[in-house]
Every structure is written in C-alpha cells, then in structure tokens.
Amino acid sequence: MMAKAELKAILLIAVVFLGFYFIPVGSPRIAGAVTEALLFVQDYAREHVLFGLLPAFFIAGAISAFVSKAAVMKYLGARAKRVVAYAVASVSGTVLTICSCTVLPFFAGIYSRGAGLGPAITFLYAGPAINVLAIFLTTRVLGVRLGVARAVGAIGFSILIGFIMHLTFRHEEAKRAEEAMALPEPEVDRPVLEVLLLFALMIAVLAFVNWTEPKTSAGAFAFIFAHKWVFTGIASVLLAGLLVARYSVRIWGPVLATAAVLAAAMITGDPRLAFLVGIGGFIVVGATASRESREWMGSSWGLARKILPLLFIGILIAGAMLGRPGHEGLIPAEWVARLVGGNAPGANVAASLAGGLMYFCTMTEIPIVQGLLGAGMGSGPALAFLLAGPAVSLPNVLVLRSIIGTRKAFTYLLLVVVFSSLIGFLYGLMTR
C-alpha cells in the first residue's frame, strides 16, 4: 500500500505539472503578472535592503545574543508583578523575530515555567506581531502612520487580549499559578540599562540613515535631514565606544572601520557608499572580536539567512498576484476593492479573518498589504490584516489547543479577529 507521504508527493507533482501544462503563457495578464513580480522584487532590493533590512538585522541579532531568556522568565514568571509581566510580554516582539508558529515553543516554555495565562497570551500575540524588523519595514514601506498604528495597536491589543483571557479562565489557572511559585527564580546576567543603551544607539543609526526629506524645508525634521550623515556618524562613534568599553571589542577595530568610512566618503563623495563600507567593517570587527560579538554576528546572519529567502519569495508571489501599487497582477483590482475596499465593518472583518486563518512567514505580510493597498484596500482593513495576520493562523491555533486546550485556543482566535476588526475600523475612521 502506498505511503501517505508518497501519495501527497505524487499529487503535488501532478498539480504542478498540470498548472504548467495549461497555463496560458500568451495571456497579457499572465505576462503582466510575471513582469510585476520581477519589478516588485527589484523595488524592494533597491529601496529597502541595503539601508533598511541590513542594519535592522544587526539590531535583531543583538537582541537575540544579549537579551537572555532568563530575563524574560524573571519578568513573566509567577513572582512578577502583574503590571510588569504584561508590560514585558507586550514588547517581547522586539526580543524575537519569529512567526505565529515559531513562537509556540517559546510560549509553551514560559507557560510551563509558570507564566500566568494572561501574560503568556500577551507574549504569544506580541512575539510575532511586534518584532523590530517587521515594525521597521512596515514604517519604511507602508508609511510612518501605518507603522506607528501597527506598533501601538499591537502593544495595546496584546495586553487587552491577555487580560481578557486571564479574566475568562482565572479559576482554571489558579492552581497552576500556586505550583509555579515553587519554581526557582532565574538569574539575569547583563544589566538591563546597558542592553537598552546598546539598542538605542543602533536604532539611532538606523533612524538617521533612513531619515527621509520632509515636506517643509524648516523645522527640526528638515534640520536632521540636512545633517543626517553627521548624526549617523555621531551615533556610530558612540556605539563603537560602548562596544569597546563593555563588549570586549578591541579599539583597533572601530578605528580601522572609521578610517575606511572616511576614506570612502572622501574618495567617492557618496555617504551612502561610506555607510556600506562601515557596515562591512562592523561585520569584520564583530566576527573577530569577543565571543559575545561573534554570537551577535552569528545571530544576525542566522536571521538573515532564514528570513530573506522567504521574504523575497513572498514579495515575488505578492507582486505576481497583486502587482505593484497602481498596477495589476493576476487578481483584478476591482475584486480587492469590492472585498476589502473602504472602511465598512464587513471589509475589516474579511481582512481580519483572512489574516487570522492564513499563515505568513515573518514580514511577508508587508508586501502583501502593499499590493492590496495598491489594488484598492482601505487603510482600516490594511491595519486589521497586519494585526491579525502575523500573530495567529490556523496551524498556530491547532497546535495551541494541544498546549492550553480547545476552549482557550479558539477563544484566543476569536478575540484576535474581533479586536483586529474593531481597531482597523476605528483607524479607518481616523484616517479618512
């Protein structure tokens, strides 16, 4: 008898073969979709990778290397104050760059170690929804307003859902909380303020490099734009000083990297090229410095290797199906506008349901929303999709029910869809 796996493989091969066999290659829409897919990927490669994603991967890698899981457990465990636990859980996405399914082992770990259901659910939602790479790319690609709305909405949203879950199932959780109090408290090795300073300086470099020209030529934003590379240099020097002082980086590394940056700037006159030279020097210094620095570089590379291929596959598919903003792919724009256009309650619910049931690899939801917006999606449904999509999926809920039970798992899914729809609708009203 044929094995189940072999039968699936045969069916997959048959579907792919029939698809290629019958595809109408000469159709203008097919040809246009292929062109749009390639142009969409090209736009991302030119506009968002070198000066956006590349520095952001260093920040995410540093978080993975320097924020210990013991620190997370200390502030989410049964002994933690409820206010502290919810606050830490709600911003935990900056610690992890993961999708709705990858977060499940982390959730199971902190839940089994004694974290309350409320903070654990807040962590479960916030983990994939608020990671630093996704928030930054949302702001860069979809605009500051939608990026800020996603970050603020997701943080408040995660706390609200966690607290409702706690109230709904508080009697079932009381005994488990008592047992968790007997577990030993984890120890935290590196001071929190030191890690926060490191992240603040890296984020400053990232923000100044990507500072865009404001609409007016006066004011603080215009002044920063006019001197963005000076501010970038200052933040970079302060970052190098911190690495030398606290992270076992030898001073010759930053000195040589700075010399290479200045030489590139003087020879080419292009500060963007000088910045890329500095990134190269940063990689070399980090890879040859202390064990912690090597872990940092390794974490950054691991994230890039895992995320970039999936991201570009997602961009390619989104470009083919939806096209670039203002252009059409395989799906006619009128279909999108009819389903999720405007800000009707039904459009927000449809966007939330689609996001909540589909599975997205980390950050692939952004090019999908970019394509949907270009095809006529309303701003409210776009936010609803961004809030529901990365944080939950049907595979996520099916696994989650084995950890916390069917009632809790599907209550969580219902809350995500309902509140995503509501927040999207309110945001749509505010941005008319």
Per mean pLDDT, which of 168-177, 293-302, 416-425 is the most reliable?
A: 416-425
* Each residue's pLDDT tens digit, 85-140: 787 777 766 655 556 655 666 677 667 666 678 888 888 888 777 777 677 778 87
Q: What is the DSSP string of 63-90?
A: HHHHS-HHHHHHHHSTTS-HHHHHHHHH
What mean pLDDT value characterizes the chain?
Answer: 76
DSSP 213: P
Residues 6+ apart with CB under 8 A from 258: 237, 240, 278
Q: pLDDT, tens digit, for every residue of 360-382?
A: 666 677 887 888 787 788 888 88
Q: Is the pLDDT of residue 183 over 60?
A: no
pLDDT value at residue 392: 78
- DSSP H or E stretch at residue 163: helix 144-168
Pull the structure tokens for residue 24: 């109408």
> Does the structure show a pLDDT above 80 at 408?
yes
pLDDT tens figures, 217-240: 777 778 888 888 888 888 888 888
199-237 burial, b at 16+ Cβ within 10 Å, e below that, comes to bebbbbbbbbbbbeeeeeeeeeeeeebeebbebbbebbe
How far apart, in whole angstroms, are the C-alpha atoms of residue 71 and residue 73? 5
Predicted TM-score (pTM) of this structure: 0.64
Task: State the helix-helix crossing angle for 406-430 and 117-129, rounded to 10 degrees.
Answer: 50
The stretch 306-328 carries a mean pLDDT of 73
Kindly state the percentage of the chain with pLDDT values over 90.
0
What sign results for the dihedral spanned by CA atoms 340, 341, 345, 348? Answer: positive
Query: Are the C-beta atoms of 211 and 224 separated by less than 8 Å?
Result: yes
| pLDDT given at position 287 | 64
In the chain, what are the domain boundaries? 49-65+190-308
How many alpha carbons fall within 13 Å on the CB side of residue 179?
9
- pLDDT range class, residue 326, cuts 50, 70, 90: low
Q: What is the pLDDT of residues 249-258, one digit of tens each?
A: 777 777 777 7
At 213, the pLDDT band (50, 70, 90 cuts) reads confident
If you average pLDDT over residues 10-17, what whole number do you get?
Answer: 88
Average pLDDT over residues 329-348: 78
CA distance readout (Å), 409 to 246, 351, 392, 413: 43, 20, 10, 6
| DSSP tag of 327 | S
Residue 358, Ramachandran bin (φ over 0: left; ψ between -120 and 50: alpha; else beta)? beta
Q: What is the pLDDT, as a whole number, of residue 239?
A: 83
Q: CB–CB of 380/427 below 8 Å?
A: yes
pLDDT single digits (tens) 63-90:
666 666 566 666 666 566 777 778 777 7
CA-CA distance, 106 to 279, in Å (whole number)?
Answer: 31
